[in-house]
Amino acid sequence: MRNAWLQTVLISAIFLAAMLCVTIEAYAVGGRAGDQMESVESVEAARATQKSEAKAEEAEHVEHAGMDDDDQQASNDKTGDYDFQPVTQEHLLQGTNDPAYWLMYGGNYAGWRFSPLTDINSDNVKEMKAAWMFQTGIPAQMQTSPIVADGIIYLTAAYNHLFALDAVTGELLWRYDHELPDDMRVCCGPSNKGAAIAGDKVFMATLDARVIALNRKTGAVVWNTEMDHYANGFSSTVAPLVVRDKLIVGIAGGEYGIRGYIDAYDINTGERKWRRYTIPDKGEKGSETWAGDSWKHGGAPTWVTGSYDPDQNLLYWATGNTSPDWNGDVRKGDNLYSDSVLALDPDTGEIKWYFQFTPHDIWDYDGNTDLFLVNVERSGEIVKALAQPNRNGYLYVLDRSSGKYLHGTQYVDKLNWSKGLDEAGRPIVDPKYVPTAEGKEFICPGSVGGKNGSYTAAYSPLTQLMYVPTVESCWQMTKSASIFIKGIPFWGGGPGKTQGDDGSSYGHLSAIDPSTGEIKWRYQDAYPMMGGALATAGGLVFTGNLEGHALAFDDATGELLWKFQTGSSMRAQPVTYKAGGRQYVAIPSGGGGLAVTLVGEPPLTSKGSALLVFALPE
């Protein structure tokens, strides 16, 4: 399967190269456009002429697939009985303290993915049953984290579909189907990690590098802003983060040689307020870490949602791989600020401090995994810290006020690319385990990780443990020549054989103390663990596996207490909420994507896409 995928990529690359010399033609997808074919030139011309009218038209036009005016009125009528309250900054600061809400990707600004709910707990979770299920009808990987507000779930699916569902019954209230071009530049699958919410709007970033605000009562488009031109290699899969009046959004496209950035948009108008490039411009501090003009196409994408410390007014956002991925010859140096965490002023985008996890990344390790704002004990004192289980196999703990390295520990079983971390947290690279033209050595972990940014870990303030789903899959990595052509993959190599090929890959869920790095317990699974995690005050940790089981564990012992076969691999993020006096656990299910193809998946896996919601019997 993996070889077939690689052949497809090569064919696509050849096709894209050919397109540079001919008129490009594109079809809209998603079942909404007609059969009319338009050239990119004509599309761009139309955009130019319509730009002045766009905001007015979008405010009046509801983008529902196949809906006429009567259907739209019916959709509006369905939401008429809900008590819509504006989601304020005060609501966002509360995170999951109000159990009726799940307002952001990480649950709260600290990124914990923790709920104080205890109705479903370690004593009774075995009695939990399916309450309802919603099928998206989109058979592709589901990586979303649902948003819950005012009794409504806002659920995104692959290819930028967004659904509003009754949180108690699962009834579909409205849907939005974003019209996508036929020639998107998407590296690793058409996923979306979820929506954001503020005021009376719900927000989604798109695969064609746009940001969209919808009226959360009706699904009407309020504004639609282009981040960048997708044909140049840009896309966005991230769940945005709202900080006061700004919507923070990251970009993807590191495999296409983009120059990464983090954007902030006005939540009311869609106007871009600032842009922080993740690679310094020529002459800026850090530009000396790039040879020649390699910084122009150096990558460092930002496709995982960050965290925010309101006490210090600091936004933390991780950055990804360098370009080309596996060949660093043309970009000698540490390549700042790739594979890093940036602490930013959310009002201006100014960098306050940074820490680089993998300088001069030639393994495609990225730095894009979730960031946990936790307190750790250090020399008998409590330190406000930032913890990240990085894809390179190390758990890093930093002082989140200054970026000072506190400690780092290996959390994967197999790690050979580095001999350890020095006193500053810099990896000590073993030159035996780097990509080569022959690609003979198996390098651990492989490029997927470790902990991968496509799914989440969780943290419980009660146990003070992080719960980290992990991939154990070593790879051979090849290095090859690389030529940058805009809009075409810029890899400089790639994976050779992986342990997914011979079935020796596996996964685990590990409970880790961030103060010490000690692993308190570990559950091992036959396949890599690539589903997100949720911790609750009921003494539970929820996640899922590639065989399609939703799983619940005792948070203190790791005992498996409950499982349910969802019918497709688990790649998304579970959440929990309370509605009508009853606690629900919402678990999206839907396999697919490049990562699982490379690390190994069950041979009979099915490509589903559904939201399953569970509760105790009434």
Residue range 99-132, pLDDT digits in tens: 999 999 999 999 999 999 999 999 999 999 999 9
Considering the four listed CATH numbers 2.140.10.10, 3.40.50.2300, 3.40.109.10, 3.90.550.10, the one that applies to the domain covering 2-615 is 2.140.10.10
Exposed/middle/buried for residue 288 (C-beta within 10 Å: 0-12, 13-18, 19+)? middle
From 150, 325, 364, 501, the catalytic residue:
364
Pairing, β 340-344 against β 314-318: antiparallel
pLDDT tens, position by position, 131-183? 999 999 998 999 999 999 999 999 999 999 999 999 999 999 999 999 999 99
Cα–Cα distance, 243 to 530 (Å, whole number): 28
Which residue do the tokens 């719960």 mark?
Answer: 467
- The model's pLDDT over 540-572, given as tens digits with 9 standing for 90+, comes to 999 999 999 999 999 999 999 999 999 999 999
Question: For residue 311, how many other CB atoms are within 10 A of its CB?
Answer: 8
Q: How far apart are CA 215 and CA 226, in angstroms?
A: 18
Average model confidence (pLDDT) for the chain?
A: 90
Tell me what pLDDT residue 321 has. Answer: 97
Q: How far apart are CA 591 and CA 608, in angstroms?
A: 6
The residues near 192 (Cβ < 8 Å, ≥ 6 apart) are 143, 144, 156, 157, 158, 159, 160, 204, 205, 206, 207, 237, 239
Order of strands across the sheet with 475-479?
Answer: 442-443, 475-479, 493-498
Q: What is the mean pLDDT of residues 267-277?
A: 98
In the predicted model, is pLDDT for residue 80 greater than 90? no
For residue 122, what are its two tokens?
């370690």
pLDDT of residue 75: 59
Phi first, then psi: what are they for 329, rounded to 5°? -60, -35
Whether residue 7 is predicted with pLDDT greater than 70 in this model: the reply is no
Three-class SS of residue 614?
strand
Token pair 């990529």: residue? 9
Run of H or E including 543: strand 540-544
pLDDT value at residue 57 = 38
pLDDT confidence bin for 605, thresholds 50/70/90: confident
pLDDT tops 50 at residue 300: yes
**Which of 353-367 are b and which e, b meaning 16 or more Cβ less than 10 Å from the residue's Cβ?**
bbbbbbbbbbbbbbb
| Residues facing residue 493 across a β-bridge | 479
The pLDDT tens digits for 389-408 are: 999 999 999 999 999 999 99
CA angle, corner 218, sides to 157 and 534, nearest 5?
40
Q: How far apart are CA 162 and CA 452, in angstroms?
A: 24
Residue recorded with tokens 């019916």: 74
Whether 364 is a known active-site residue: answer yes
CB contact burial 8-36 (16+ within 10 A = b; e otherwise): ebeeeeeebeebeeeebebebbeeebeee
pLDDT-derived band at 76 (thresholds 50, 70, 90) equals low
pLDDT confidence bin for 79, thresholds 50/70/90: confident
Across 464-493, average pLDDT: 97
Q: At residue 21, does pLDDT exceed 80?
A: no
CA distances (Å), origin 239, targets 184, 202, 219: 19, 11, 18
The shares of helix, strand and coil residues in the chain, as percent rounded to the nearest 5, are 15, 35, 50
* Those residues with Cβ within 8 angstroms of residue 14's Cβ, 6 or more apart along the chain or in another chain: none
pLDDT at 72: 47
Span of 28-32, 285-289, 373-377, 473-477 with lowest mean pLDDT: 28-32
**What does residue 129 show for φ and ψ, rounded to 5 degrees?**
-125, 165
**What pTM was estimated for this model as a whole?**
0.90
Q: Is residue 317 within a helix (H) or strand (E), and if so which, with residue range?
A: strand 314-318
- C-alpha to C-alpha distance for 107 and 97, rounded to whole angstroms: 9
For the record, the structure tokens of 234 come out as: 């840009």
Residue pLDDT, tens place only, 337-381: 999 999 999 999 999 999 999 999 999 999 999 999 999 999 899
Alpha carbons within 13 angstroms on the beta-carbon side of residue 577 total: 27
Q: What is the mean pLDDT of residues 482-493?
A: 96
- Give the 3-state secondary structure of 108-162: CCCCCCEECCCCCCCCCHHHCEEEEEEECCCCCCCCCCCEEECCEEEEEECCCEE
Strands 114-115 and 534-536, sheet pairing = parallel
Element of type H or E holding 11: helix 2-19
pLDDT tens per residue across span 43-67: 333 334 333 333 333 333 333 333 4
Q: Residue 445, preceding bond cis, omega within 30 degrees?
A: yes
Nearest-angstrom CA–CA distance, 318 and 296:
19
Tokens describing residue 345:
């002023």
pLDDT in tens, 404-418: 999 999 999 999 999
Whether the Cβ atoms of residue 435 and residue 481 lie closer than 8 Å to each other: no
Select the more confidently predicted residue: 439 or 604: 439
Q: Where are the beta strands (DSSP E) in 461-539?
A: 465-472, 475-479, 493-498, 506-512, 519-525, 534-536
